[in-house]
Amino acid sequence: MRADVADEEGPYLGRVSSVVIDSPPVAPPGVLSRPYRALSVGMVALILLLAFEYLAVATAMPVVALALDGRPLYGLAFSGSMAASVIATVAGGRWSDVRGPVAPLWTGVAGFVAGLLIAGLAPTMHVLLIGRFVQGIGGGLFSVALYVVVAQVYPSAMHPRVFSLLAAAWVLPSIVGPAITGAVVEHIGWRWIFLGIAILVAPAAVMLWRGLAGRATAVPQEGGPGPVPSGAGFRARLGWGAVVAVGAALLQYGGGLGRSGIILIVLGLVVLAFALPRLLPPGTMRAARGFPTVVLLRGVAAGASFAADVFVPLMLIGERQLSPTQAGLFLTGSALSWSFASWIQGRKQYDRGLLLRGGTALLGLGIAGTALLVFDVVPLMAGLVAWMLAGFGIGLVYPTLSVLTLELSEPGEEGKNSSSLQIGESVFSVVIVAVTGAIFAGFETAWWVYLACFGLIVAPAALGALTAGRIHRSR
């Protein structure tokens, strides 16, 4: 505490002294402190189950398709859920801005559980696809609504720690998910992948309900800040969301066909080039200053990270002859460094531009270094260090962009902007994975094919490092 004494001329009493006391800033409460504990635990549990469902389904789907005689519909099990999620993200953003986040949150949770039950009890592959579609709707609704809950319930000083915790919830399933999924499928049955997660949603929902009990969530008032789009504007945005979902599905399906899917890939890219800018902030594709650059950075960073997650285990098993278990342990290193970096950025206030520039640069360098494992002379330990570097980079970037989304949103726009952030992440990821997947599937496996794919994956990370400084608005 510091006291400054200054003499001033009093109007009647002559010279008097005024004392100015500077008090040290009060540290924000912890994310798991008593007032926020139930809400934080409930949100983390829901995100963890959403992430685990994503990884578990990817692991179990070959067995599911074989059991239900649905191999021709294999790709739709993923693209259908993704398409539903894009549409629900658009709707959830608008709904949260107009009516507050509570209704879309609980509707999304109910839809997610309903989809899991339909998929877990499905007698045919077509019914399972319906369940996956309903899951996508539910997950898209509650994931956007949770961003608005964070904006309205937690003080802004706590946002970095909240998003650090939510980022860790995405990482943990990648560490233990494959092993748990394999054990459940082998010893209990694939249906319990869906039914088990549906059961676990119940206690998570109870904790979330307890955390929200007694807390008022804001509903924008007429004439207040943060203009709410008109009904016609929302319908147009929802329509463009459906078009984007179709384009992304074409890309995803075409990417798995190799050279024969080139027409679908080109068609999907044309559709996205026309429709996607209608759902993102103006100037996103040219990295306009402020929030458009935040959306672009989230897309390129997430796309590079997710695409690398696809190709690294392929390379480790196919080129370095690691077992699936050994490859899984290798991937765990990146998950741990991601979680550690998320914890670091949430500890105190850092320069956001520096975090993003450094994080995207580390992501690109780490992926490039890991790609060198295609050559037998490169030690596995060197590749592991590079892969952990990539995980550390995305761990710095991911929660920082979530915090910036709320900081750059006017009251009443948190839902719409969170929707744009997640749409950009999903679509950019689909584009990068589909294009690199088509290259990989269209040519014989060789060292240069891996390097070509990894080169295309590193390019978005490099773009992120070059544009990170544009998150600041022009003065």
Domain for residue 164, yes or no? Answer: no
* Helix-then-strand count for the chain, H and E: 14, 2
Do both 309 and 453 map to the same domain? Answer: yes
Q: Which pLDDT does position 232 carry in this prediction?
A: 65
**Residue 227 DSSP symbol:** P
Query: Rounded to an integer, what distance in angstroms lies between the CA atom of residue 111 and that of residue 395?
Result: 30
CA neighbor of 163 nearest in space, from 353, 31, 354, 356: 31
- Give the residue from 213, 228, 259 where a domain finishes: 213
193-210 residue pLDDT tens: 899 999 999 999 999 999
Q: Give yes or no for residue 393 having a pLDDT over 90.
A: yes
Query: Rounded to an integer, what distance in angstroms lies between the CA atom of residue 136 and that of residue 359?
Result: 30
Q: Which pLDDT does position 352 carry in this prediction?
A: 86
**Which one is predicted more confidently, 329 or 467?**
467
Q: Which pLDDT does position 26 carry in this prediction?
A: 57
Residue 193 in contact with residue 201, Cβ under 8 Å?
A: no
Q: Give yes or no for residue 21 having a pLDDT over 60.
A: no
Residue ranges in 154-261 assigned as alpha helix (H): 159-187, 191-212, 231-255
Do both 313 and 415 map to the same domain? Answer: yes
Q: Give yes or no for residue 216 having a pLDDT over 70.
A: no
Query: Rounded to an integer, what distance in angstroms lies between the CA atom of residue 364 and that of residue 394?
Result: 10
Average pLDDT, the chain: 82
Q: Give yes or no for residue 314 having a pLDDT over 80.
A: no
Residue 301 in contact with residue 394, Cβ under 8 Å?
A: yes
Query: Rounded to an integer, what distance in angstroms lies between the CA atom of residue 405 and that of residue 65?
Result: 39
Mean pLDDT over residues 179-194, rounded? Answer: 82
Domain for residue 246, yes or no? Answer: no
Do both 304 and 427 map to the same domain? Answer: yes
**Which one is predicted more confidently, 156 or 386?**
386
Q: Which amino acid is at 46?
A: L
Give the percent of the chain with pLDDT over 90.
32
Most confident of 73-87, 298-312, 452-466: 452-466
Q: Which pLDDT does position 370 carry in this prediction?
A: 94
Q: How confident is the model at residue 220 (pLDDT cuts 50, 70, 90)?
A: low
Domain for residue 154, yes or no? Answer: yes
Length of the chain: 475
Pick the range with the lowest mean pLDDT from 152-166, 177-191, 283-297, 389-403: 177-191
CA torsion angle for 36, 41, 46, 51 (degrees, to 10)?
Answer: 120
**Structural domain of 87:** 37-159+190-213
Do both 196 and 314 map to the same domain? Answer: no
**Which one is predicted more confidently, 130 or 331?**
130
Do both 203 and 299 map to the same domain? Answer: no
CA torsion angle for 108, 114, 116, 118 (degrees, to 10)?
Answer: -150
Q: How confident is the model at residue 6 (pLDDT cuts 50, 70, 90)?
A: very low
Q: Which pLDDT does position 127 carry in this prediction?
A: 93
CA torsion angle for 337, 338, 343, 348 (degrees, to 10)?
Answer: 100
Give the percent of the chain with pLDDT over 70.
84
CATH for 370? 1.20.1250.20
Q: Give yes or no for residue 449 having a pLDDT over 90.
A: no
Query: Rounded to an integer, what distance in angstroms lies between the CA atom of residue 267 and that of residue 80?
Result: 18
Query: Rounded to an integer, what distance in angstroms lies between the CA atom of residue 299 and that of residue 386?
Result: 22
Domain for residue 293, yes or no? Answer: yes
Domain for residue 409, yes or no? Answer: yes
CA neighbor of 339 nearest in space, from 36, 51, 14, 15: 51
What is this structure's pTM? 0.76
Mean pLDDT over residues 457-470, rounded? Answer: 92
Mean pLDDT over residues 398-421, rounded? Answer: 86
Domain for residue 375, yes or no? Answer: yes
Do both 303 and 398 map to the same domain? Answer: yes
How many distinct structural domains can be found in the chain? 2
Tokens of 455: 């080169």
Domain for residue 237, yes or no? Answer: no
How crowded is the C-beta side of 108, counted as CA atoms within 13 Å?
29
Q: Give yes or no for residue 18 having a pLDDT over 50.
A: no
